[in-house]
Amino acid sequence: MPRDAHASRMITDPTVLSVLDELYERERHIDWETYPWHADPHRHAATGFSLSPEQGDQLYLLARYGRASNVVEFATSLGFATIYLAAAVRDAGGGVVRTAELVPAKAEQARENVERAGLGDHVEFLVGDARETLAGVPDGIDLALIDGWAPSVSLEVLRVIEPRLRSGALIYNENLDESFIDHVRGEGSGYRSVTLLSGSEYKPKGELAMRM
């Protein structure tokens, strides 16, 4: 298979790549225009709503460059982004991704996917409402992914982990949540923040904030 046909241009471990490819293939053909959306997360136990492979690669690169060892994710879903993050943590020398998911059936599928990718030693699953479970993560967070959901809880999740972010920590908000952006760009917020662009049309793909 040509290199570009894989779900990652960063990851070379064939075991990790094969699980990422399989997860990506499951979602690639979904028509989001007609997808039966419902705000109850329990109604989407089989759907990943995963990051794009480009976003996964960006996260891998950021985590590896910063030698992140204390990583937090909202939310796990089926484990697509978790696998990029855990691979980066492992490849950079070790550490743990603590990932929160409300729907137990999704956390279970993610656990299987992470195990099959050979990354089980680098992931801790927190099952329940992230606004509660993430309150217990250890200090010194290096990198956090705050992914999207509607209605969005991005800012609430940020506020929960905020006291545990180390100076220089990066927070990637996938859904460009307006309240998240207002918070991190506000006067005296204690963050600096930039929108990441992606793809040939340079569409905004995420907000990347740094804790000062």
Ligand X SMILES: C[S@@+](CC[C@H](N)C(=O)[O-])C[C@H]1O[C@@H](n2cnc3c(N)ncnc32)[C@H](O)[C@@H]1O
Using rule CB under 6 A, residue 57 touches ligand X: no
Interatomic CA distance for residues 94 and 70, integer angstroms = 9
| CA dist 105 → 10, 44, 47, 68, 79 (Å) | 29, 10, 11, 28, 12
Name the one range near ligand X by CB under 6 A: 89-97, 142-150, 159-167, 191-199.
142-150
Instruction: Determine, following the binding rule CB under 6 A, whether residue 80 of this chain makes contact with ligand X.
Output: yes
73, two tokens? 């994710």
Which residue matches tokens 């006067």?
187
Nearest distance, CB of residue 187 and ligand X, angstroms: 29
**Smallest Cα–Cα separation from 167: which of 139, 208, 135, 137?**
139
Q: Is 7 a residue that touches ligand X (CB under 6 A)?
A: no
Given 86, 130, 146, 170, the residue binding ligand X (CB under 6 A): 130
- Per rule CB under 6 A, is residue 51 in the interface with ligand X? yes
Nearer to ligand X, 162 or 189 (CB): 162
Q: Does 180 bind ligand X (CB under 6 A)?
A: no
Supply the DSSP string of 71-130, one letter for each residue. EEEE--TTSHHHHHHHHHHHHTT--EEEEEES-HHHHHHHHHHHHHTT-GGGEEEEES-H
Q: Which amino acid is present at 120?
A: G
Q: Is 148 in the site for ligand X (CB under 6 A)?
A: yes
Q: Does 101 bind ligand X (CB under 6 A)?
A: yes
The yes or no reply on residue 100 touching ligand X (CB under 6 A) is yes
48 binds ligand X (CB under 6 A): yes
Nearer Cβ to ligand X (127/190): 127
Work out whether strand 203-211 and strand 191-198 pair parallel, antiparallel, or are unpaired.
antiparallel
Residue 127 token pair: 């099952």
Binding to ligand X (CB under 6 A) within 8-27 occurs at: none
* Dihedral (Cα; 58, 163, 79, 114), 10-degree rounding: 100
Give the count of residues interacting with ligand X (CB under 6 A): 22
Q: How far apart are CA 89 and CA 67, in angstroms?
A: 7
Closer CB to ligand X, residue 61 or residue 190? 61
Q: How far is the CB of 49 from ligand X (least distance, A)?
A: 4
Tell me: does residue 103 bind ligand X (CB under 6 A).
yes
Q: Rule CB under 6 A: which residues touch ligand X?
A: 41, 48-51, 75, 77-78, 80-81, 100-103, 106, 129-131, 147-149, 153
